[in-house]
Structure 1
Amino acid sequence: MRFMIIIKASKDSEAGIMPSQELLTAMGNYNEELAKAGILVAGEGLHPSSKGARVRFAGDKRTVTDGPFAETKELIAGFWLWQVKSKEEAIEWVKRCPNPMPGTEAEIEIRQVFEMEDFGEELTPELREQEERAFGQSRKH
């Protein structure tokens, strides 16, 4: 099972305040643990929303809004993609994570990633083939 581990933004991350060397070291050590355990698929930090944009869809119309965005607690500061056996295993790994926003209250969200099999009969052989062409081996976890 793949899970996306979502690190929620804080006022500091949205202000563009970079992590301390201490936090970078702690996170580097944690990432090495994840890699040694064989569960780390990907992981990255994100620039603040002030450097981003949103595209709103309304029928055929597309509206672009540049950041920053107001709801800090709903924004994402970074993520990992893990391959684990269960949600419980993902929770146990998250509990071992250094506080991503030292000195403040932080939140990490855990969400399971859909696998092709989850779509059942709606995923025809043609759609499965198209998916494999588009994503190749990266989806065969």
Structure 2
Amino acid sequence: MSTLTAAQRRERDRAAYDAFLAACPARQLLDRIGDKWVSLLMAALSDGPMRYAELGRKVAGISEKMLTQTLRGLERDGLVTRTITPSVPVRVDYALTPLGESLGTVVRELKRWADTHMDAIAAARDAYDTRTPGA
């Protein structure tokens, strides 16, 4: 039996990821990315660094609690950095990391797709609701 180095074990484990399995870390990551607040905050930050209050205004409907929790989770995942500037009042800026920027590009395109195709989706929903009683 041969012994694997840490790098070899990581590569083996990486190749074994299957997001269709509930316990897979990639599945957990997709669950996080699929969260509406995560995708909206990532799209907002893809335009550049923003302060906490700016993010709260940009992403309508997010509570302070959810904004804080979501930003902490994104920071933990290495997608967002939090920079504190000592001043009165203290200034806190959030920005995408290089890893976050790579995801931000995808999320921004998904948002753009939704904005562009919303009329077609609304028409499809109306057509479905018309032909499907009780929908």
Q: Which has the higher helix share?
A: 2
> Which structure has the larger Rg over C-alpha atoms?
2
In terms of fraction of residues, the more strand-rich structure is 1
Q: Which has the higher contact order (CA 8 A, sep 6+)?
A: 1
TM-score tier by shorter-chain length is under 0.3
Give the TM-score normalised by structure 1.
0.25
State TM-score, norm by structure 2.
0.25
